[in-house]
Amino acid sequence: MTEKISSYRFGVGKYFHEKEVLSHLREELRGFSDKALVISGKKAMEALEEQDFRKCLKDAGVSFREELYVGYPNTEKVEYFSKLAREEGYGVLIGAGGGKIMDLSKAVANQAGLPLLLIPTTAATCAAFTPLSVLYTKEGKYDKAIHFDREVDVVLVDEDIMLRQGTRYLAAGMVDAMAKYIEISHGERSLKRGTVPLQKYLAYQMAEELFTVLEEEGAEACRELREAGENNRQALSKEEMKLGSALQDCVFCNIALTGIVSGMMQGRGQAALGHVLYNLLRTSFTEETRGFLHGEIVGVGLRLQVLYNQNEDLEERVTKFMKERGMPITLQELGIPNQPEAKDSILSALLRNSLVEDSEEGRERLKRGFHRIWKY
């Protein structure tokens, strides 16, 4: 899979966000193929079936094969599904699930040369929108990120399916989205027009507004989602189940707007120390961090990033947001053992990273931030 990042890919071919969004399947698949390979998680398929997913495909005259997958997207599975798609002559790939399924589906479609339709079932990441995949080993260690030359063809965000996710997923997606504002300004308290390339400055401005929307509407969005879950358990009708305005805003921010910011940065430079820490922990402390979501780990790294940027006020806002959502805010709360060797190995790895300024002052900033995130 050749990595190409010279062009801008600002978003998907088509992005739908509404109730009963699967009604668009017939029209969207008509331009691709009448033979689809479907890759999804078990819970994702259950959610899709509540929206008559299989019936929608059959009504559209599409024959399909379902492949349920539980695990990390890895090179071996990309090869397996790509070969399956080519040998059995599938003309389109449909991926449905969380971020791992989104990343797996994008990598498979890219390798097999297939058009791609994605149906995210959570708003925990922008994976459905961005033309890149993060791959892991079978054990869950971080392996690599692959950038693709083309965008995702279609994304279908179904409001009823979004109501099935837990608030933990929504909150993790918010923090991962908020990270763009802080990581784009890596090493600086803020960016000013004329001091950086215009596209970076505009991505930063959009990311700042994204941060503000999530900070202001996040609590209400989580309340609406909890209320919807309680109502669902009381078996309310579909007409009584709907996304509230704050929840709609935050889902859109987590998936689409975050993906657009990433596109403006060409998939590079919108991730810095927060994501460096994520990759490091997934690689060196795989078992300890297995139960945590992407955004939860990135969030702890985000505190490190904003402290490295010497923006104490913003660090307080980020920490407050995370604590109010019940998220971990330190490495100890992520399950990292309180042992000198663990502490030294993480700090040493961070100091060796090329993003850390090669100066005594830069290293000291990193160390001060690290000691703040080690334990509460």
Q: What is the mean pLDDT of residues 2-25?
A: 79
Q: What is the pTM of this model?
A: 0.92
DSSP state for residue 21 in the 8-state scheme: G
> Does residue 8 have a pLDDT over 90?
no
* pLDDT score for 149: 86
Q: Could you give the percent of the chain with pLDDT greater than 70?
A: 93
User: Scanning the structure block, which residue is given the tokens 């390339």?
Assistant: 197
**3-class SS of residue 28:** helix
Confidence of residue 270 (pLDDT cuts 50, 70, 90): low
The string of pLDDT tens digits covering residues 72-116 is 999 999 999 999 999 999 999 999 999 999 999 999 999 999 999
Q: What is the mean pLDDT of residues 236-246?
A: 61
> Does residue 237 have a pLDDT over 70?
no
Contacts of 337 (CB under 8 A, 6+ apart): 288
Q: Cα 346 to chain center, whole Å?
A: 24
> Does residue 238 have a pLDDT over 60?
no
> Does residue 265 have a pLDDT over 90?
no
* pLDDT score for 231: 65
Q: What is the mean pLDDT of residues 163-169?
A: 94
* pLDDT score for 266: 76
Evaluate whether 226 touches 169 at the Cβ level (below 8 Å): no
* pLDDT score for 6: 58
**CA–CA dist 35, 37 (Å, integer):** 7
Evaluate whether 279 touches 159 at the Cβ level (below 8 Å): no
Confidence of residue 269 (pLDDT cuts 50, 70, 90): low
> Does residue 4 have a pLDDT over 50?
no
Residue 342 half-sphere exposure toward CB, CA atoms < 13 A: 15
**CA–CA dist 76, 191 (Å, integer):** 41
The string of pLDDT tens digits covering residues 34-52 is 999 999 999 999 999 988 9
Report the length, in residues, of the chain.
Answer: 376
> Does residue 257 have a pLDDT over 70?
yes
> Does residue 239 have a pLDDT over 60?
no
**Ordered alpha helix ranges (H), the chain:** 25-30, 42-49, 53-59, 75-87, 99-112, 159-162, 167-184, 198-233, 245-252, 258-264, 273-284, 286-289, 294-308, 312-324, 340-352, 360-374
Q: What is the mean pLDDT of residues 198-217?
A: 95
Q: What mean pLDDT, rounded, does the chain reach?
A: 92
Q: What is the dihedral of CA 202, 277, 257, 173, to 10 degrees?
A: -150
> Does residue 151 have a pLDDT over 70?
yes
Nearest to residue 296, comparing CAs of 257, 265, 260, 335?
335
